[in-house]
Structure 1
Amino acid sequence: METIRIAGCPKPVTNLIQGSDFFTHDVYGKVCDVLDNYFAIGGNTIDTAHIYCGGQSEETIGKWLKERGNRDDVVILTKGAHHNADGPRVTPEDIDSDLAKSLERLGTDYIDLYALHRDDENIPVSVIIDALNRHIGAGRIHAIGASNWTHQRLQEANDYAAASGLAGFTFSSPNLSLAKPNEPHWKGCVSADAETCAWHERTQLPLLSWSSQARGFFTGRFAPDKLEDKEIVRVYYSDANWERLRRAQELAARKGVSMIQIALAYVINQPFPTGALIGARDLSELQSCVDGAQIKLTAEELNWLEHVDTVEA
């Protein structure tokens, strides 16, 4: 499995990152199977968050780490400062609280990659960067990033960090997929548009994409007349995305692979460092992702898959 480098993190990060938003105590055996298979096949990075499964995601990962005794070999990506029913929670106090709880649940004294799960543009970037750097200085965080931040706010934060001699964000984790969402999956979510991707290409800041395979849109299970999955219909059903699916199917046939593997290869082959968060739940799904990540796409193929201007017009 190929790796990328993220500044501040001494370990390489595999470009397939195992997701854990289904990790709960009652399926701990499955959690172990998923993680054991993922590491056996060459992966080393697990994505989780303070809010996933009410904390059970981090707790089960922590239990697995303790049982396997492999903390030094694992890259943990976790996220904090998600909003709640009362609104945004991107304050130093919220960051401190969520990070402390995540460390406790994971049974570790440091997080390799720590991301803010949401943004609150009412909070100055200086306040946020200062708060995160206190944790970096204490060794509790190695590298900082942001999930669902705009590239403008990322740039503002990094400009402040550079001017102040502080560590800035060294990765971002928005949604990036071949299927372009009609609207956000959830309130406050950010998807990488053309301008965002151009910024990543200029800066070469690594992008770790959630819903990298568009929640199964390219599996072949969906069609314009299949309307049962209201969430997928709301987010992904559009003429432009059906054309992207058709082109993915055509390119997959030419290369002797599957559509879903082409969709994954689209993320992996961007002209800047990328990682794809995957939700593989068994060995066959994991092997499909590994094979998809090895597909090489040219710039021309990427452009042809994505840009369907005649349809969108």
Structure 2
Amino acid sequence: MTLPTRSIGQFTVSAIGLGCMNICHAYGTPPSEEEAGRLLNRALDLGVTFLDTAAIYGLGQSERLIQRYVMHRKGEFTLASKCVMDAPDGKSRVLDGSPAAIAATLDRALARLGTDHIDLYYLHRPDRNVPIEDSVGALKQAVEAGKIGAIGLSEMGADLIRRAHAVHPIAAVQSEYSPMVRNPEVAVLDTCRELGIAFVAFSPVARGMLARGVRDDHFEKHDIRLTMPRFTGENLAHNLTVVAKFEALALEAGCTPAQLALAWVLAQGNDIIPIPGTRSIAHLEEDVAAATITVAPDVLEEAASLFAGTIRGARYAAFAQATVDTELLPGEELA
């Protein structure tokens, strides 16, 4: 199948990519390795040509699964991974943006992926103890050595994007973006467009809330949503009343809520590439279909207006927000 395409630096990728965190990490019990392999291959069969992973996902397991199940099809997709957040000993998570740590993480990633080149390599988070210029400088050296093709940034604000871009052209900036989560509109999207940088939208269905995947806060142990203020308690109860209106709008428009969310993200600009993640082939097929459906502009406008100033709870707790550099929305309080 051939999907519409968009550009990230020198790469042409499917308009919807696949986030590969869910196949081993973050949302409770992961699928089996075989199920993950089937999901990855089904994504490629559906025309997805952009896979996004990271060293920290499953402590390297996501990269290993990609190697095991789809690297023999590498000619069919653009591969992105990330450094700075890592577990060098395979057990303990660290955040280290020093050039030495970045180089070591990259070498381990190349070994796990069974390759000598990663197309797009992100700084997963800013390290406030290391100047961004030093971290990007390490990736610039990796580009020059042929180990990576392009440089990306994740969860960074406008000032850091500009400083990074001055060291080496940045191909992509990644952050959470959906009809519910609009933080990139504060400054990041404008900065990316001014500098000619693609924007990669992770969690475009709001970590399942816009995909009928959240009905209460009875999450499995270790589900990261347990730490996120808008997914628990009274905040969640309120937010689900808004989500119910979004679901009714999708039904009226003849698509699923997830498809409406993805159609909205896609409509915000041809420089935006959403990367929904899932453990389900059925949900994968539903997501990918959003690249080829048409939703009326007034429906998209209404979808966004539902969430304007109505969502309660920050997207991260204070301890997690301290690791990112993205702008808060007006009135967005940390818990």
Q: TM-score range by the shorter chain?
A: 0.7 to 0.9
Query: 1:262 and 1:240, CA in 2 relative to 1: closer, same or farther beyond 3 A?
Result: farther
The Cα shift of 1:263 comes to 1.3
Indicate which of 100, 114, 117 corresponds to 2:121.
Answer: 114
> What does 1:131-150 align with in structure 2 at a 5 Å threshold?
131-150=138-157
| Corresponding residue number in structure 2 for 1:186 | none
Superposed displacement of residue 249, structure 1? 2.7
| Equivalent residue runs for 1:45-124 within 5 Å | 45-66=50-71, 69-82=72-85, 88-124=95-131
Aligned-partner residue type, residue 156 of structure 1: R
Q: Percent identity?
A: 23
The one-letter code of the counterpart of 1:123 is V
Q: Is the 8 A contact 2:41 2:69 kept in 1?
A: no
Residues 271 and 71 (structure 1), Cα distance of their counterparts in 2 relative to 1, 3 Å cut: closer
Task: Indicate how the Cα distance of structure 1 residues 2 and 228 shifts in structure 2: closer, same or farther if over 3 A, else same.
Answer: same
- Write the letter of the residue equivalent to 1:55: G
Residue 195 in structure 1 maps to residue 187 in structure 2? yes
Which residue, 208, 222, 235 being the options, matches 1:216? 208
Q: 2:226 is matched by which residue type in structure 1?
A: E
| Kept in 2: contact 1:243–1:311 (CA 8 A) | no
Q: Which amino acid aligns with 2:44?
A: F
Structure 1 window deviating more from structure 2 (227-236 vs 276-285): it is: 227-236
Do the aligned residues in 2 keep the contact of 1:18 with 1:38 (CA within 8 Å)? yes
Amino acid at match of 1:30: E
Q: Could you tell me which runs of 5 or more consecutive residues in structure 2 were left unpaired when the two chains were aligned.
A: 25-29, 220-224, 312-330
Q: Secondary structure at the match of 1:93?
A: helix
Distance in 2 (CA, whole Å) between partners of 1:17 and 1:210 is 10
Cα contact 2:178–2:206 (8 A) shared by 1: yes
Q: Distance in 2 between matches of 1:63 and 1:311?
A: 44
Q: 1:37-85 CA deviation, whole Å, 9 max, x = no partner?
A: 111111122111111112121112112245xx32222211101111676
Instruction: Work out the CA distance in 1 between the residues paired with 2:310 and 2:55.
Output: 40
In structure 2, what is the Cα distance between the partners aligned to 1:149 and 1:116?
9
Instruction: Decide whether aligned partners of structure 1 residues 286 and 122 sit closer, same or farther in structure 2, where only a CA change above 3 A counts.
Output: same
* Counterpart in the other structure of 1:174: 175
- Deviation larger for 131-140 or 56-65: 56-65
- Determine helix, strand or coil for the equivalent of 1:76: strand
User: Retained in 2: the 8 A contact 1:113–1:143?
Assistant: yes
- Contact 2:40/2:70 (8 A) holds in 1: no
Describe the superposition over 1:8-55 as per-residue Cα deviations: whole angstroms up to 9, x where unpaired: 44xx11222222224459822112211121111111221111111121
> Counterpart in 2 of 1:14?
14
Moved more, 35-44 or 56-65: 56-65
Q: Is the 8 A contact 1:49 1:58 kept in 2?
A: yes
CA 1:272–1:199: 2 relative to 1, 3 Å: farther
Contact 2:151 2:172 in 1 (8 A): yes
Aligned counterparts of 1:253 and 1:27: Cα–Cα separation in 2: 33
Equivalent-residue separation in structure 1 for 2:193 and 2:237 (angstroms): 28
8 Å contact from structure 2 (residues 157, 187) kept in 1 = no
Query: 1:209 is matched by which residue type in structure 2?
Result: A
Task: Judge conservation of contact 1:22–1:53 (CA < 8 Å) in 2.
Answer: no
Corresponding residue for residue 218 of structure 2: 228
Secondary structure of the corresponding residue to residue 154 of structure 1: helix
CA contact (8 A) 1:249 1:258 kept: yes
Q: Distance in 2 between matches of 1:247 and 1:201?
A: 32
Structure 1 residue 271: deviation in Å? 2.4
Distance in 2 of aligned mates of 1:220 and 1:22:
16
Matched residue SS, 2:120: strand
Letter in 2 for 1:293: A
Q: Is the 8 A contact 2:13 2:49 kept in 1?
A: yes
CA positional deviation for 1:247:
4.6
Equivalent in the alignment of 1:40: 45
User: Could you tell me the TM-score, scaled by structure 1's length?
Assistant: 0.81
Question: Does structure 2 retain, via aligned residues, the 8 Å contact 1:204–1:272?
Answer: no
Number of aligned pairs? 292
168-177 vs 103-112, which moves further: 168-177
Quick check: 78-87 or 27-36, which moved more? 78-87
Question: Which residue number in structure 1 is paired with residue 318 of structure 2?
Answer: none
- The alignment partner of 1:43 has SS state of coil
Q: Give the whole-Å Cα distance in 2 for the aligned partners of 1:93 and 1:310.
A: 43
1:275-297 alpha-carbon deviations (Å, 9 max, x no partner): 22222333321221122233445
Q: Distance in 2 between matches of 1:26 and 1:309?
A: 35
